[in-house]
Amino acid sequence: MILNFDAMDLTLLEKFYGGEKAVQAKMHVDEHNKIMRSVLEPGASVGYHTHETSSEIIYVLQGSGKVLYDDGEERVESGVCHYCPKGHAHSLINDGTENLVFFAVVPNQ
C-alpha cells in the first residue's frame, strides 16, 4: 500500500496532549497503526504523555528539537530516530528556529 502524504488532507492538532501551538499532521489511521508526517513550527510542541497501550517511533526528517523522555531529555535532529516504548512517557518540542518535520508510527498493540 502506498501512502502519499502530499495528497492527504492536513489536520491541525491544536495543543496536542496539552502542548504549545499546533501539530500540522497528514495521517493514515486504520485498525493497526497511526502513520503520520507532521510539522511543528518553532515554539510548538506535543505535550508530555504516557504510551499506556502503544509505542511510538519518531524519525526526524528536518529541523531539530528536544524530547522529554521519562526523567531525561534527548536532542533530536534530522536523521535521528526517537523510540518511546509502551509504558513510557515523552514529549516532542521544537526549540529551534525552523520547522521540525517528522515521520511517526504508533502501532496498535
CATH of the domain at 34: 2.60.120.10
For residue 17, the model assigns a pLDDT of 97
Is 1 part of any domain? no
Q: Give 80-107 pLDDT, tens digit per residue.
A: 999 999 999 999 999 999 999 999 999 9
Is 17 part of any domain? yes
For residue 59, the model assigns a pLDDT of 98
Domain boundaries, position 96 = 10-107
Distance, in Å, from the CA atom of 23 to the CA atom of 61, rounded to the nearest integer, reads: 15
Is 5 part of any domain? no
Is 86 part of any domain? yes
For residue 109, the model assigns a pLDDT of 82
pTM over 0.85: yes
Of residues 21, 2, 15, 13, the one with CA closest to residue 38: 13
Total count of domains within the chain: 1
**Ranges of the chain with pLDDT below 70:** none
Is 20 part of any domain? yes
For residue 36, the model assigns a pLDDT of 98
Is 29 part of any domain? yes
